[in-house]
Each structure stands twice: as C-alpha cells, then as structure tokens.
Amino acid sequence: MKITKLLNFFLLFAVLTVFVLSGCGKSEKEAKITSGEKPSDVKGNKTLVVDVNESIVKWVGRKVTGQHDGTVKLLNGEILMDSDKPVGGKFDIDMNSIVVLDITDPETNGKLLAHLKSDDFFSVEKNPVSKFEITSIENLSDATVPEMNYNIKGNLTIKGITKGIIFPAHIKYENGKLTALADFDIDRTEWDIKYGSGKFFQNLGDKMINDNFTLKLNITAK
C-alpha cells in the first residue's frame, strides 16, 4: 500500500511538473523575439495587395486545463516584391474582430471574448489595431522545419508595444498570386500580457495560462 501511494505521489508530481513547464518554458516552434528588427535596404519593384477575405489568421491559447482557439481578421496588407521574390510587407490586424471558435455556449463564449479584449489581455478599446511590418525575408536553403523555405523577420506591435520577431514560413508565388503559410508561437508576456502567467504570479495552480500562444497564418496576396 505504501509503495502504491508513493508511486501515485511521483506520478502526480510528474504531471504537475509537465504543466508548470508547459506554462513557463519555450516551445519547439517559438518565434525568436528581439528588441526590434532593422529594415533591409532592398527595394521592391512591385506591390501585391493582401486579400483580407481569403487570408486567415488563426490563434490558439493554452492553459493547464485545456485550450481555446479562434481567428482574427486583417484590416489590410501588402507584400513587396523584387521581381518574383518577396522582400517586405506590412499588415494591420483588426483586434475587434477576434472570434472564439471552440466554445459553443453563447454566454460562455461572450465572457471569454470580453476577457480577451479587456486590459488583462489585448486592451482592444485602447489598441484596436495591431501591426506587423516585415523588415526582411531570407531564403532558407537548409530549412530545419519541413517545407519552410523562408525566414521572415519583422516588427510586431501589440498594445502599442513593438518587438522584433523571426519565424519560418512557406511562401509560393506563381501566376501573379502569392501564398504564405506559417505556424509559430510567441511569448505574450513580451507585449505586457501577463494575466495568468507563471513567470509573474505564484500559486496559480490550474488557473495558470501558457505564456506562449500559437499563430497560424494563411495569407494570400495578388
């Protein structure tokens, strides 16, 4: 009996350790965050307009007890091309368009949505637009992530705070149409979104929220 209790204790300890590490540690696909990326000197000769209706930005947030997912819309965007190669771009993100997809109950969905828009998270009333400006796009000849052929560097502004980010993407351009796919994590606390973070608050237990959230991009420009 004592051995069984001891084994159960170690099993519980291991599970809790995994939860803590998942809330505070780095993920395998976490974007590199810098103080800011300097724009390159490369000048394009053509601009593609992002199709905001066809483009999709998905998000996934995780916590000890589960996860939530949804979408957010682009207000506008453009990709700068040098012949047939992407070299830059910029996007405006409509933070008022945040949608929660995994909760079907209208009341519960509305509560989470209101919380995400509050000062605990994205402060949408004060900061209705987030921005991403691509400073450089580098070809990946030896991509470590399958099918990712470019490394994108840029400056992401959320809640009025700008940080540099670097992440891999798959970009294809043919017949005047560009498609870009990316799937990466960013640490929300870098943009002063600290609610439920194990790095800043103790004894959160199952109330702890992972510092990293996932962005999945499917961008179309013509």
Round to whole Å and give the CA distance between 128 and 62: 23
DSSP label at 191? G
Pick from 38-47, 103-112, 211-220: least confident: 38-47
Looking up tokens 């995400």 gives 116
Tens-digit pLDDT profile for residues 70-109: 999 999 999 999 989 999 999 999 999 999 999 999 999 9
Predicted confidence (pLDDT) per residue in 108-152, tens digit: 999 999 999 999 999 999 999 999 999 999 988 754 555 889 999
pTM of the full predicted structure? 0.84
Rounded average pLDDT over 17-45: 67
CA distance 115 to 216: 22
Q: Residue holding tokens 């970009």? A: 171
Return the SS3 of 209. strand
Kindly state the tokens that stand for 140: 């990946």
The pair of three-digit structure tokens given for residue 157, joined into one six-digit string: 């502004």
Task: Provide the CATH topology of domain 2-221.
Answer: Lipocalin (2.40.128)
**What is the C-alpha separation between 204 and 182, in angstroms, rounded?**
32
In tens, the pLDDT along 6-23 reads 444 444 444 343 333 344
DSSP secondary structure letter of residue 80:
E
**Quick one: which of 17, 20, 74 has its CA closest to 50?**
74
Strands 150-158 vs 129-139: parallel, antiparallel or unpaired: antiparallel
pLDDT at residue number 121? 96
The answer to whether 131 and 160 have CB atoms below 8 angstroms apart is: no
- Percentage of residues in the chain having pLDDT higher than 90: 68
